[in-house]
Amino acid sequence: MTDASYKSDLVTRANKLVIGNWKMNGSMESNHALLDGVLVGLEQAGCKAVVAVCSPFPYLAQVAGLLKGTAVSWGAQDVSAHGQGAYTGEVSAAMLSEFGCRWAIVGHSERRAMHQESAQLVADKAEAAATVGLTPVFCVGETLAEREADRVQSVIAAQLAPLFAKGDDLVARTVVAYEPVWAIGTGKTASPEQAQQVHGFIRAQLPASAKSIPLLYGGSVKPDNAATLFAMDDIDGGLIGGAALVAKDFVAIAAA
Ligand SMILES: O=C[C@H](O)COP(=O)(O)O
């Protein structure tokens, strides 16, 4: 356990939370059109959910400008575990915070798999984010092989353990996103019951003071399955990939 004190707010599941992860997609022109469509669509739908988008780093300033004065917040798709220094290519939490970043995704399965990010590194990133006031969106999830080997709970528990080891205060300032790797970008969504089973497991593992943090589901969420997923007891919203790139789909999911 560390002595870190965090500047980020405590987060609760009082409102549905829908976060778009654009991954490595976009352009100045398409971002503008997408956000115009999202903002108009959310207003027309009378959407009550908390909505955010996480763009690639080069577009964060553009996104910040386009979202200024709106109810939609923005975040980054990754953040360095380090404060500053000789870390070529990394972006610190303080740099993001300086111009209004609200969220930082950490531990997305694409980064765990393609960039060999360890569970400890992901927890260190979450701590770095919360230390300067960003809310970490902490991704966990099993591969298909791990599911078939009946290892879902042990895999998720191992991914969460280094976060929990940093103390209850950090956990209470974190959003956890369950994203089964086999459902990401594949069109194979976990059934609402499969997702709820894991969300219920995660909720049960949370320390008492963090029981009401939002637990998001991610993995091929679309307008036609969002409502049934979000209706489950422990699913408080979604982390949306492909559908976040289509304004009407993202709005439909946020309004589901
Ligand atoms: O971060 C988002 C997830 O990886 C889900 O992506 P997807 O909605 O394209 O399956």
- The interface predicted TM-score (ipTM) is 0.99
Residue 1 lies in a domain: no
pLDDT of residue 99: 85
> Is 2's pLDDT higher than 80?
no
Task: Tell me the CA distances in angstroms from 254 to 21, 53, 133, 215, one per residue in order.
Answer: 13, 12, 25, 15
Relative to the CA of 243, which ligand 1 atom is closest? Answer: 8
Q: Tell me the CATH number at 69.
A: 3.20.20.70
Residue 56 lies in a domain: yes
Residues in the chain: 256
Give the total number of structural domains in the chain: 1
Q: Are 213 and 253 in contact (CB under 8 A)?
A: no
pLDDT in tens, 202-230: 999 999 999 999 999 999 999 999 999 99
What contacts 230, CB < 8 A, 6 or more positions away? Answer: 16, 217, 236, 237, 238, 256
Cα angle 248, 238, 27; round to 5: 50
Residue 73 lies in a domain: yes
3-state secondary structure of 19: strand
Q: Is the CB of 83 under 6 A from ligand 1?
A: no
**Stretch (H or E) spanning 125:** helix 119-132
Full-prediction pTM beyond 0.95?
Answer: yes
3-state secondary structure of 128: helix
Residue 220 lies in a domain: yes
Which stretches does DSSP call E strand in 181-233?
215-217
Residue 173 lies in a domain: yes
- The domain in which residue 70 lies consists of 17-255
From the CA of 15, how far away is ligand 1's center (Å)?
21
Residue 2 lies in a domain: no
CA nearest 53: which of 72, 70, 71, 81?
A: 72
Substitution site in 220, 222, 225 for ligand 1 pocket (most atoms within 8 Å of beta carbon): 220
Q: What is the mean pLDDT of residues 142-161?
A: 97
Is 100 marked as binding a ligand? no
